[in-house]
């Protein structure tokens, strides 16, 4: 199954490399799990190709994530800026106090 060349007007961005790295998974290991060549995984990570719908679902199954967490039409920002951390004050938000038992 060969990947399709990525279109310039409708690019598909992905987090495959980041997800693979945080799971300490090699390209060869991911390729084996989704039944493709390791070079295909490299081409996907570089953005040289984008996956078929079937391959995208197989990749998402490996990472146990929904498609929109792995693939996007818009470029992904740093994952650290998208993670919700309770108690963190971000621009436009207010930290609310939590009443304790003595209140």
Q: pLDDT of 37-61, one tens digit each?
A: 999 999 999 999 999 999 999 999 9
Question: What is the average pLDDT across 67-89?
Answer: 77
d(CA 29, CA 27): 5
SS3 assignment, position 4:
strand
Question: What is the average pLDDT across 26-40?
Answer: 98
Question: What is the average pLDDT across 52-71?
Answer: 97
Answer whether residue 5 is part of any domain: no
- Measured over the CA atoms of residue 18, residue 19, residue 20 and residue 24, the dihedral's sign is positive
Contact 57, 67 (CB under 8 A): yes
Domain span including residue 25: 14-73
pLDDT of residue 81: 72
Instruction: State how many domains the chain has.
Output: 1
Average pLDDT, the chain: 82
The enclosing domain of 53 has a CATH number of: 1.10.260.40
Answer whether residue 90 is part of any domain: no
Answer whether residue 92 is part of any domain: no
């Amino acid at each position: 199954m060969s990947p399709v060349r990525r279109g310039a007007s409708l690019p598909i961005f992905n987090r495959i490399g980041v997800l693979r790295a945080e799971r300490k998974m090699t390209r060869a290991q991911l390729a084996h799990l989704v039944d493709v060549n390791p070079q295909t995984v490299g081409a996907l990570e570089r953005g040289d190709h984008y996956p078929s719908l079937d391959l995208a679902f197989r990749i998402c199954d490996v990472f146990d994530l929904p498609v929109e967490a792995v693939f996007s039409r818009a470029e992904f920002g740093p994952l650290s800026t998208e993670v919700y951390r309770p108690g963190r004050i971000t621009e436009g938000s207010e930290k609310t106090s939590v009443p304790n038992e003595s209140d």
